Amino acid sequence: MTPPRWARWLLRWLAPPDRAEDVLGDLEEVHRGRVGRRGRMLASFLTGLEALDIGVALLGERIWRRGTIGERMASVEPGPNRPSVSWLDFKLGLRMLVKYPGLTLVGGLGMAVAIAIAAGSFGVIYSLMDPTLPLDEGARVVTIQNWDAAISNPNRRSHLHGLMRWREELESVEDLGGFRTVRRNLVPPDGEVEPIRIAEMTASGFRLARVPPFLGRPLVEEDEREGAPPVVVIGYDVWQNRFAGDPRILGRTLQLGDTRHMVVGVMPEGFAFPIAEEIWVPLRMDPADLERGEGTTLEVFGRLAPGVSMDQAAAEFTTIARRLALEYPETNEGVGAVIKPYTEEFIGEEPVALLYTMLGAVFAVLLIACANVANLLLARAAARSKEVAVRSALGASRWRVVGQMLAETFVMALVGAAIGLGIAWAGVSMFNRAIVDTQPPYWIDIRIDPLAVAFVLGLALLATLMAGIIPAVKASGSNAGDILKDESRGSSSLRLGRITKGLVVAEIALSCGLLVAAGLMVKSVVQLRTIDYQFPTENIFTARVGLFEAQYPDSLARRRFYQDLVERLRAIPGAEAAAVTTNLPGTFSGSPRFAVDGENYERDVDYPRAHVANVTPEFFETFHVDALEGRVLTRQDAHGNLPVAVVNRTFASRFFPNESPLGRRIRIGTADSERPWRTIVGVVPDLHMDGVENEEPEGFYLPLYQSDTRFASMAVRVRDGRDAMAVAPEVRDAVLGVDQDLPIYWVRTLEETIAGNTWFYYVFGTLFMVFGGVALFLATIGLYGVMAFAVSRRTSELGVRMALGAQTRDVLRLVLRQGLLQLAIGLVLGLVLAAGLANMLQIILFDVEPRDPMIFLGIIGVLTATGLLASLIPAQRASRIDPLVALRYE
């Protein structure tokens, strides 16, 4: 009938030591009475509560009476079984850092680097993994996509018709709206014309956001009507930077392209919904003007109605999608709808998998660092075993000793954490600068926030425990008498062998895994750099234009524009060749379904797919492309002449194996296509139409003048040795010469364009390289430290052996054997780990097998070499021991 054990423990811990006995007595007496009256269960519960109440009150009283907690910690003598620390321990910890500078440097720095990596990655991962929209009830904002069941692929965007229908029928989602981003030239009254990104958004977007404008009003439904005056809402930064924060901004105009928009509102700082917007204009589209399934596509957003769950909304969507499929089988057959949290739309599953891999790698590095510090501390604990023994002999309890050693470790971890946070902060700043160009959504806010700092402090504590507890318990557990009696080998009485060896094995295994991952990533990057593109990537300037339907209403007007443009581009001084193409080589081109004349296809899904690009005849000259068979496209392939196409090598061999494709005909579209049949007139090499990875290279080229093109890239090849970007002003002038209002965008070299699609290989390659490098460094010093320590402990033993006739070689072998055994076990475990890690990395490896034997062998070699080196130096030192000195060695 005693009170619950935890209640007793709590009171013993919290009560002043001289009061613990009678307080516990009271508790037991009261508890017995309670059990009689209320039964055991309820009594235990009540007694527990009361113990908590009393404990807290007593502790409060103590603090109140003694002053600060610090004074209390310093003044209260610990009870016999209580781990306790005082400021003295922390001071001692600091002093120890100074006294053992080598250990401080290696351990502290190792921990700093590990914590930096952990904190930085945590910052990145946390922001990317579960971003919240910084809006009122942001988690209830959703995005809606069509889902094409036939290709089991979310068709990212939705058409206007779908949106209108959803708006009419949906009850589970409110404020349904859509947006698209376009580029327009911003024409300031004075100064340079500048292309700028604009969001065309339904007014419901502002209602959904629930963010009141800073000045004026948001967009409203009336602005979307036909004939409504053109208005614009601008972001805070635009207001500050372009209008110098003019308080009378409302009513002023902003010229976008050829239209002057009246500013009706300014949004507050930090608002950039839906993605990263600064200028909003009404989305004006009349569905009556458009064929179903045609027209510009939209991104659709909405807010779950109050009390509606995601599942309920999804169910309603499915119902509507089924109805639409029945009504419009030709466009909506097999099209479903997917609804998901808004922020999920922008971060796919692959990056998340990658982030988890990264998180794993981060913790592996942290573990290695902790193992290292633990090892170093073990060594130091061994060296200090006499000191500990003296303390114990003088009456220090075991917990007192453990507490003190943990405090020392904590000081080191804290110093490491402080340095680590600094490094992490710098790293995150760099990361943010690196991703600015990719225009991340505005709610992705990667920074070291208070949560990350708390996380780091938690890590420091955890690291302290992980690294400090074994040495502390080990060191304090020894029998003081034995150690003090052990005159001759004061520092070697501690039996640490198995633990330190285990830690080193773990370190080697973890580094092996990380290094293999790093190796695979590095090889991917190398592969990327050494791709043989079969077309020049240097000396090529690229930029993009998009024609407005208002100015270029038909394909004739558009063709004229491009003809004029190409002539002007070719006339640029310094330009060797210039062309216009819908898709640049080395970048992804769309891949529609098509038919080969003479083949039979039962269903639409049976039609094959291939990449397609519309190019002007100069394309082939610009990219040094010669026909492998037949001819390339020429100026004769103009509108009105025989429709032709040029296919690439893979296309020819896949669709026309064992025969020449020349003279055969293909047609874009499926059974009911109204496009013309095109005669194949030539075969050209593969120009990476599937992007850098080029996993499905088959594709064909159509004459731009026999097609209808609204968006196209310009490519200008300059003479060798000239800076491609130097022609940018001339290209801009050439475009403005044809159309005063047309913006050009994505102004960069072809190399940059291609690199822009591969940045994540570099980012993650670099990250894993850093992880791997740090891991290798840490594991090496860990192994070295342990070996050196083992040798120093065995100095007198080795001396005796040599005095008895052992040769240098024997000593070397003896010491090396220990190191190599650990190395071997570590490598075996590490390879298993590496194989698992490589599988997870597979999705981001470029042209590298996850079991790449070269990488695996290479890493084994590197680890063996460093392991040998780390063991060899102490072994050599051991073999040079003078037996006389060794025997005197204490």
Partner 1 sequence: MPPEPLAEFELLVMLAALRLGSDEAYTVSIADDIRQRTGRSVRRANVYTTLQRLEAKGLVSTHLGDPRPERGGRPRRLVAVEAEGVAAVRATTAAIEAMVGDLGDVLGEAG
The residue (of 29 and 849) whose beta carbon lies closer to partner 1 is 29
- Single out the segment in contact with partner 1 by CB under 8 A; choices: 49-57, 462-470, 474-482, 705-713: 49-57
Does 56 engage in binding with partner 1 (CB under 8 A)? yes
- Single out the segment in contact with partner 1 by CB under 8 A; choices: 47-55, 417-425, 678-686, 795-803: 47-55
Q: Residue for token digits 């005095």?
A: 803
Distance CA 256, CA 281 (A): 10
For partner 1, the binding residue among 4, 10, 28, 813 (CB under 8 A) is 28
Element spanning 737, H or E: helix 728-738
The residue (of 21 and 136) whose beta carbon lies closer to partner 1 is 21
CA dihedral (438, 714, 627, 703) positive or negative: positive
CA dihedral (617, 621, 622, 628) positive or negative: positive
The residue (of 46 and 738) whose beta carbon lies closer to partner 1 is 46
- Single out the segment in contact with partner 1 by CB under 8 A; choices: 15-23, 108-116, 161-169, 672-680: 15-23
Closest approach of Cβ 56 to partner 1, in Å? Answer: 7
Report how far apart, in Å, the C-alpha atoms of 581 and of each of 188, 535, 584, 711 are. 30, 15, 6, 9
The residue (of 31 and 664) whose beta carbon lies closer to partner 1 is 31
Closest approach of Cβ 67 to partner 1, in Å? Answer: 14
- Single out the segment in contact with partner 1 by CB under 8 A; choices: 59-67, 549-557, 599-607, 854-862: 59-67
- Single out the segment in contact with partner 1 by CB under 8 A; choices: 51-59, 410-418, 623-631, 797-805: 51-59
Does 35 engage in binding with partner 1 (CB under 8 A)? no
For partner 1, the binding residue among 7, 12, 24, 218 (CB under 8 A) is 24
- Single out the segment in contact with partner 1 by CB under 8 A; choices: 60-68, 317-325, 484-492, 570-578: 60-68
Does 53 engage in binding with partner 1 (CB under 8 A)? yes
The residue (of 66 and 722) whose beta carbon lies closer to partner 1 is 66
Closest approach of Cβ 26 to partner 1, in Å? Answer: 5
Backbone angles phi, psi at 200, to 5 degrees: -95, 110
With helix as H, strand as E and coil as C, how does 567-610 read? HHHHCCCCEEEEEEECCCCCCECCCCEEEECCCCCCCHHHCCEC
The residue (of 31 and 732) whose beta carbon lies closer to partner 1 is 31
Distance CA 521, CA 845 (A): 6
For partner 1, the binding residue among 10, 30, 469, 728 (CB under 8 A) is 30
Closest approach of Cβ 83 to partner 1, in Å? Answer: 24
The residue (of 33 and 458) whose beta carbon lies closer to partner 1 is 33
The residue (of 65 and 248) whose beta carbon lies closer to partner 1 is 65
Closest approach of Cβ 1 to partner 1, in Å? Answer: 9
How is residue 86 annotated by DSSP? -
Distance CA 15, CA 59 (A): 6
> Please, which of residues 62-121 interact with partner 1 by CB under 8 A?
65
Closest approach of Cβ 34 to partner 1, in Å? Answer: 12
The residue (of 61 and 890) whose beta carbon lies closer to partner 1 is 61
Half-sphere exposure of residue 332: CA atoms within 13 angstroms, side-chain side: 21
Report how far apart, in Å, the C-alpha atoms of 55 and of each of 30, 314, 466, 715 are. 15, 52, 30, 78
CB neighbours of 189 closer than 8 A, spacing ≥ 6?
Answer: none
Q: Helices 808-841 and 497-529 sit at what angle, rounded to 10 degrees?
A: 50
Closest approach of Cβ 103 to partner 1, in Å? Answer: 46
Residues composing the chain = 890
CB 845 within 8 A of CB 855: no
Report how far apart, in Å, the C-alpha atoms of 14 and of each of 7, 53, 80, 730 are. 11, 11, 14, 80
Spell out the alpha helix ranges (H) of 131-246: 160-169, 204-209, 236-243
For partner 1, the binding residue among 9, 17, 26, 759 (CB under 8 A) is 26
Which residues would be at the binding site for partner 1 (CB under 8 A)? 2, 19, 21-26, 28-30, 32, 50, 53-54, 56-58, 60-61, 65
